[in-house]
Amino acid sequence: MPTELETKTFSVSALLDAIRKGRVRIPHFQRGFRWNDEDRRLLFDSLQSGFPIGTLLLARGEAPAAHIMLGGFAATVPQTPDALWVVDGQQRLVTLAMALLEDHSGAYRPLFFDLEANRFVTGPRRRSAPPYWVPTHVLSSSAVLNKWLRETAISAELSDRADAIASRLREYAVPAYLIPYDGQNDQLLQEIFARVNQRGRALEKHEVFQALHSSVMGGKGPIDRVRDELVQLGFGELDGSQIEKAAIAVAGGDPRKPLQDQVNGKPVAELLERTSKSLALTVEFLSGDAGVPHVSWLPYAGVIPALARFLSIHPSPHPRNRELLVRWFWRGTLTREHRTDNYIDLPKWRAIDQDEHGSVQRLLKLLSPVTEEDLPSALQPLVGGRSARRSTEYISLASLEPKVLAGEALGQDVPLASLIDHQLGFFEVEPIPGSDRTIASILLHPTDIPLDPFLLTGLAEPLLASHGLDEPSLRAWAAGDTQAFISLRSAQLLSHLRRFLTDAAGLHTRDQDRQPLDAYFAEEGA
């Protein structure tokens, strides 16, 4: 019997409302979020230009009460008889939710509308955006936009432009096909899903296999579901043991015992929902504050449960405490006290309670002192498997915010997390045979875009500096003197690595890890 399709259009505003109310659901056979920052920006560029963004394919039918996550938007939603299960269009809908419903974007760069340039842009993670850049989540609500315009006090011309782009976004009509779904016939949806995904960014074989052997509403354990939710944030995939340990920390349990032995009849679904929310905040902190672009580059996984516990109790920490937690992250990395160890973890978890300021101070005091003597004195040879030191050196390279140096994407941010996720590797200058291979021979640059040192010499200095390159090292590379190139770049990258760690760990600050001034006022008022 032919499948009956209903055609319908949804405004972006209507889709956002459906997401908020829990009507939009992602089937468990769907793959994770795959788009990079430029993909996300181009979607909004298409919305602004009035270009078509493709037709959604939605199955309309029953859905149970559940905890849902689309991008950074998370909510516990009730059962609904007319849910919209996403068969095709997940990347677009998650991008809309991530940018328009929340003021954070996980490990992805935030999106803004540049009122002066009249275009959408990806913004910095750790620097303030210019005052004429409107965060995209502000554009989804007239009331929020009006408040932002009053506080920013920009010109009337730019205010009118902000109103115009907000209206265009909210009113943009997205076409959709609706398939009737009775909540039982998963095979039909899976078949359509598999066929649709033969075009575009095709699924890997194992993803298609998993898609065709799962169900719409379930088939996965609670830890697997948390993992699937977090993958959407673009930070990579946490393993089950990390999620389980984070759940134990959030529950205030004992790291030496498995989760199953500690739930004692407590509602596991509720605990895993809290854990999912706190891990999403942990991902945002690690990528946005600590500068870790992907979970596979995390020096020590022992920070994850402690941060999850802290952020489950204090989801919106004071900016000063966020700064101090960055110091705690990097000092513990230098002293190796963030390695996974039950006897190290337990005091960390117990240090965290309802007192936000006190919790941060206690975490800092648990660490051994760090001095300049703890900083690297040379780049580490890239031999053997992954290590905390290697991850630290790669993160220092990422802190330069590498740009694409050639091709149509010239000057755009290198999509580090996406390249790491897809194991595509980075550009490497072949070192001299017999010499140690270090990060000095590696540029965090896509391998499918050829780099010619002769052509790079004409690029602007900031573009070259984003890869730790300068004129002398480029001249050596262009002349074929690889040894001189690596020697010059080694000195530059080592100097940068030491500066990066000195700043991140707060080694030269004179504030003695002072807690926020608010804490002193609170003590006086107690």
d(CA 129, CA 114): 10
> Phi-psi region for residue 382, left (φ > 0), alpha (ψ -120 to 50) or beta?
beta
Provide the angle, in degrees to the nearest 10, between the axes of the packed helices 356-366 and 342-351: 150
Give the containing element (helix H, strand E) for 56: strand 56-63
Contact 308, 250 (CB under 8 A): yes
Looking up tokens 């009053």, which residue turns up? 150
Tens digit of pLDDT at every position of the chain (526 positions): 445 678 889 999 999 999 989 899 887 666 667 788 888 999 999 999 888 898 898 888 888 888 888 877 778 888 988 899 888 888 899 999 989 987 665 667 889 999 999 999 988 766 678 899 999 999 988 889 999 998 988 888 999 999 999 999 999 999 988 888 776 656 666 666 666 655 444 444 334 433 443 444 445 567 888 888 888 888 999 988 888 899 999 999 988 888 877 776 667 778 888 999 999 999 999 999 999 999 999 999 999 999 999 999 999 999 999 999 999 999 999 999 998 877 889 999 999 999 999 999 999 999 999 988 999 999 998 877 778 999 999 999 999 999 999 988 899 999 888 888 877 789 998 877 767 789 999 999 999 888 888 888 889 999 999 999 999 999 999 999 999 999 999 999 999 999 999 999 999 888 889 988 876 665 544 4
d(CA 128, CA 133): 10
| Residue 322, Cβ density class (10 Å: 0-12 exposed, 13-18 middle, ≥19 buried) | middle
Q: Max Cα separation, the chain?
A: 75
Which contacts qualify for 454-462: CB closer than 8 Å, 24 or more apart?
454/478, 455/406, 456/405, 456/406, 459/405, 462/403
